[in-house]
Amino acid sequence: MTVHTKLKLYLDRNVFKRGQYKGDAPLGKRWRAHVRIVKGNDSSMRVRMYGTDILTAYEDGRVVLDTNGWYGRPTTKLRMNEALGFFASHVRIGSSKIMGVSQPYLRANGKTVRYYDGIELDADGNVTSKLKPFSRRQVDKEESKELRDDMAACGFTGVFKVLHAASMQDDYSGYCNTRLREVVTNEFHSNFWPYMVARYTWERIGYSGIYRKRTAAAAWAVLTSQLRKDCYEVIDTDVTLL
């Protein structure tokens, strides 16, 4: 039985016989009339949420999903999945962190593809519209190299171990409102270097107010990890199916 047929039968059984939405049927609870089953002018059957047809089913078995840009709203996804649960239980949509990036997906027949508004499936739940690639978060190698070169050129890399060895916990009480990357790549800000090194050298133990000193290698790793947050890029991959 196609989704179109299921929607039509559901409408016939649950139709509003009077009132503002006469001829339509509520999806689920009758008082929740903002999500309804409606007949399209082109013989299609639709699940309408407010003014958006989030699911459109055709007589030939095709199904089109479209949130009209509201995909990121939890309620929209909830109602879409509720409709799919009623009429296409083998299909689900959601969001997940995939390859380091939070991105929408559609899962059908054990396969996962990237969801987008207007995605089309056939009667068996196979995506028939063009598949879109998943994205991946990765280190921007050029940006990362530029950062390392700038840190070395201004002298910060060379004096780091010396500053770490001399670092006292009291140095951590300094204040600097300049962006970290600007400080460690510009000798003009060298007066702030002891503070910056101390900031990543001294580690507070829980909520005790007691600090312990990291090794130079550990302090460098924490510092550069913070700096690398600005050295990532999101790219499209050639992966369209998971």
pLDDT in tens, 105-152: 999 999 999 999 999 999 999 999 999 999 999 999 999 999 999 999
Q: Are residues 117 and 18 in the same domain?
A: yes
Q: Are residues 97 and 164 in the same domain?
A: no
* DSSP class per residue in 178-199: S-HHHHHT-GGGGGGHHHHHHH
Q: Are residues 98 and 209 in the same domain?
A: no
> What per-residue confidence (pLDDT) applies to 175?
54
Range of the domain at 212: 139-232
Q: Which of 132, 147, 167 is the last residue of a domain?
A: 132
> What per-residue confidence (pLDDT) applies to 176?
61
pLDDT in tens, 155-214: 999 999 999 999 987 766 555 667 899 999 999 999 999 999 999 999 988 887 888 999
Run of H or E residues at 152: helix 141-154
Task: Note the pTM of the prediction, 2 decimals.
Answer: 0.77
Q: Is residue 241 part of a domain?
A: no
Contacts of 210 (CB under 8 A, 6+ apart): 204
Q: Are residues 42 and 98 in the same domain?
A: yes
Count of domains in the chain? 2
Q: How far is CA 195 from the centre of its chain?
A: 35
Q: Are residues 85 and 161 in the same domain?
A: no
Q: Are residues 98 and 157 in the same domain?
A: no
Q: Are residues 11 and 126 in the same domain?
A: yes
pLDDT in tens, 27-55: 988 888 899 999 999 999 999 999 999 99
Q: Are residues 102 and 192 in the same domain?
A: no
Q: Is residue 238 part of a domain?
A: no
Q: Is residue 111 part of a domain?
A: yes
Q: Are residues 112 and 221 in the same domain?
A: no
Q: Is residue 242 part of a domain?
A: no
* Contact call for residues 115 and 240 (beta carbons, < 8 A): no
Query: What whole-number distance in Å separates Cα of residue 167 and Cα of residue 157?
Result: 15
